[in-house]
Structure 1
């Protein structure tokens, strides 16, 4: 059959798949979040963006701001490649810090043909709306498999910079530099290194990109994106850098990558991520990529990173809670499931459904039958040690926004995935009798 817009296996320009309360430009290709920072009463977030789906278009830093972390305003790009400059073929990942009255960005500049993306800095004198010319701050390395994505922070009066790297003989690495003035940087011993291996079933990577460094319970916790030349991106991992490295997965879903940290916020340490598409390229509309909800993070008893959505997500709720079982819903909703075995099923249509199962200490998401589209990905994802009845949180908090599903458990586990039902709302919720439901609005 020739695929057309009327073919039920086609995603096409379907409005109900477009997220409403997650950061996403109306069109184009979005990937890594970069440099969240609070300036006055607002939080600013930057992200990798191409205004078209052509992945050969140089990357720029798109820009959004919010007064509350959930209602976002999109602005003009804050940074774009400068022809003939050190970022002429793309302004890639990094972060931002406050440098007196300025917002200063540190990021990777791409120039076609060069083996590495150079570490650059640029300053904003208008509160983070735009950044001036860039200059390189540390030399390119020699002999690395990969070197990119600076992350700068201040600790005990000293500025530190972590850069993602990897070496054939040493494995994945976080290069480390220090400075007193954000201008002159001195290399010191790597923050962490690990020969490529498998830990807990996860590939630790030939290199680590997008390194982030948080201080939690007085411990330095690195968050990295596992990467290899042959396989590309794998999973986001976290570990304590001051003890032997034991990476643990940060998100147990299918579509979370390139985490970006805000070390200090009004809610404490936060993490954002890129929610990848979960559908093959021929099924894309005129947009691709979404930023996750910002997540408050803490350490579990096993030293793994746990998370919950920022508290202001509650303000998206429309009206009072109602019983979830049997309710008819639109494409934006929240379902809170109490402790005890049970299952939530989102019935999109007669032949499309998403199953979320709570059983003993395990939560499972099954999207095997979530879409009739030939381009949508399927499969199951699961996490153990999922529940903590003493936490005061629901056993599972299911947040749906078009094609985005983020599930947070009471023990701080999170699973992020994407689903592409061809059937538009209204959808029907099947849930335990004591589960609660809210519609959500931006």
Structure 2
């Protein structure tokens, strides 16, 4: 039987472990998305760069891994996070090379002369921090080009639990000079969120004429925290990018025909023994576009996502759906319920007067060892869209977007397989969504058969 928890239109592996997206880039009219990949759902397996390509930003073909650790080399312990840049007729990758006995992940570069499908042996381009600097974490380069100049930021944790983005400059992408810290912040709680003692996966995105940093808060004791964003032209005031529990390691495509596009890693909400038994873990979020509301980074699904819809919209109330669906809610208060089975459901609760949207997973009919904590977005609604919320269901993945640019990315693992039934206020509509993943050895992408809605 097919695992109904396995996403079908989010980028993921058919088996194995997937985490951070790396270096989405458009090259030769094709979007290349790289990501942390392990061939087995075991964390002991060294990390390589998985690879997927798309002609429309939403239908993806899995390729063979683009980069693997070199035994005895500068990335022998794993090819970890970074990004890619188009360099003439080549794709150049910058990433963290792990060596198991090193205190840092060194900053490496490798080149693809094969349309981004295979990268050369790496070389180190930035010196590791000197011991006297007291840096306790250093990894995850993000590189961009501004005319003839190359820029780089690297995530770090320093003395007194101070998180920072270390900045470097280059004329050719090969010789780099340290230019100081682009941003730094001693660990604190801001807007109810722990800002972390270090920042992983730093990114820079140009939004509404301002450069905005995205960082993933991290600590030695607690590990990953949340994705935070703040404009770099003022003192850091980091705010959450996503209000759910399963969005981390955001990655930006800074330029291309689709505009600037944001992806993230959708983490698991179940215990390791459960995803190891399933044989797979992790997915990549839907592509998002962004804007600023004051100093808060907002996002919504990229318009390309509409291509996943199968057939016309149908009234949602009473509809039977499969595990892949989109539900669109107009500006009404009420509860959208996805009924999995007797006594098992997922609720999305909209309160327009209070300005809140809550994702309630507590009755989703899941096994023990599953995270069921609710999530709430505040100041969730505006009149900038003709809908209040868009809800995307893809197996165990739930992505909810609100009209004011808030989002909640979470996981549910109902034990009852589809078909499922929707209960919703009048005016709510639903679509079945197509499967959007194929592998390079398939003759063509396979589209799922949709259940009739209604």
Query: In the TM superposition, what is the alpha-carbon distance from 1:241 to its structure 2 partner?
Result: 1.0
Q: Who is 1:183 aligned against?
A: 174
Q: Does 1:381 align with 2:369?
A: no
Q: Distance in 2 between matches of 1:164 and 1:336?
A: 38
Match in the other structure for 1:118: 106
Q: Is residue 2:279 matched to residue 1:286?
A: yes
Give the match for residue 58 of structure 1: 46
The Cα offsets for residues 263-291 of structure 1, whole Å up to 9 and x where unpaired, read as: 11323211100000001112211000001
What is the CA distance between 1:372 and its match in structure 2? 3.0
Mapped to 2, the partners of 1:336 and 1:408 lie a distance apart of 10
Residues 161 and 197, structure 2, Cα contact 8 Å, conserved in 1: no
The SS at the match of 2:379 is: coil
SS at match of 1:169: helix
Q: Does 1:338 align with 2:326?
A: no
What residue number does 1:154 align with?
145
Q: What SS class does the counterpart of residue 61 from structure 1 fall into? A: strand
Judge conservation of contact 2:36–2:47 (CA < 8 Å) in 1.
Answer: yes
Alpha-carbon distance, 1:375 to partner? 2.4
Unmatched 5+ stretches in structure 1: 1-12
Q: TM-score by structure 2 length?
A: 0.93
User: SS at 2:70's partner residue?
Assistant: coil
User: By how many angstroms is 1:392 displaced?
Assistant: 2.5
Aligned to 1:423: 416
Query: Alpha-carbon deviations, 1:185-227, whole Å to 9, x = none?
Result: 0100211000000001100000000000011122110000000
Q: Distance in 2 between matches of 1:59 and 1:394?
A: 41
- The equivalent of 2:85 in structure 1 is 97
What are the ranges of 5 or more consecutive residues in structure 2 without an aligned counterpart? 436-454
Instruction: Give me the whole-angstrom Cα distance separating, in 1, the residues matched to 2:38 and 2:427.
Output: 44
CA shift for structure 1 position 14: 5.5
Aligned to 2:316: 324
Indicate how the Cα distance of structure 1 residues 375 and 254 shifts in structure 2: closer, same or farther if over 3 A, else same. Answer: same
The alignment partner of 2:349 has SS state of: strand
Q: Give yes or no for the alignment of 1:140 onto 2:128.
A: yes
Deviation at 1:170, TM superposition (A): 6.3
Report the Cα distance in structure 2 between the residues aligned to 1:74 and 1:375, rounded to whole angstroms: 31
Measure the CA separation in 2 of the matches of 1:165 and 1:308: 29
Q: Is the 8 A contact 2:334 2:425 kept in 1?
A: yes
Question: In the alignment, does 2:23 pair up with 1:35?
Answer: yes
CA contact (8 A) 2:322 2:418 kept: yes
Aligned residues: 428
Matching of residues 32-431 of structure 1 within 5 Å:
32-142=20-130, 143-169=134-160, 171-284=162-275, 285-300=278-293, 302-359=294-351, 360=353, 361-389=355-383, 391-431=384-424
**Structure 1 vs Structure 2 CA RMSD:** 1.0
- TM superposition shift of 1:393: 3.8
CA contact (8 A) 1:211 1:222 kept: yes
What SS does structure 1 have at the residue aligned with 2:126? coil
- Deviations along 1:62-84, one digit per CA (max 9) or x if unpaired, are 00000011100000000000011
1:440 matches 2:433: yes
| Structure 1 equivalent of residue 441 of structure 2 | none
Question: Where has structure 1 moved over 4 Å in runs of 4 or more?
Answer: none
* Deviation (angstroms), 1:54: 1.6
- TM-score normalised to the size of structure 1? 0.95
Structure 2 distance, partners of 1:265, 1:39, is: 9
1 CA distance for matches of 2:317 and 2:256?
36
Pair 1:14–1:422, CA change in 2 (3 A): farther
Residues in 1 aligned to 2:22 and 2:408: alpha-carbon distance in whole angstroms: 21
Q: Distance in 1 between matches of 2:211 and 2:163?
A: 18
Distance 2:147 2:55 in 1: 29
Q: More displaced, 108-117 or 170-179? A: 170-179
Tell me how far apart the structure 2 counterparts of residues 383 and 87 of structure 1 sit (CA, whole Å): 40
Find the aligned partners of 1:321 and 1:272 in 2 and give their Cα distance.
26
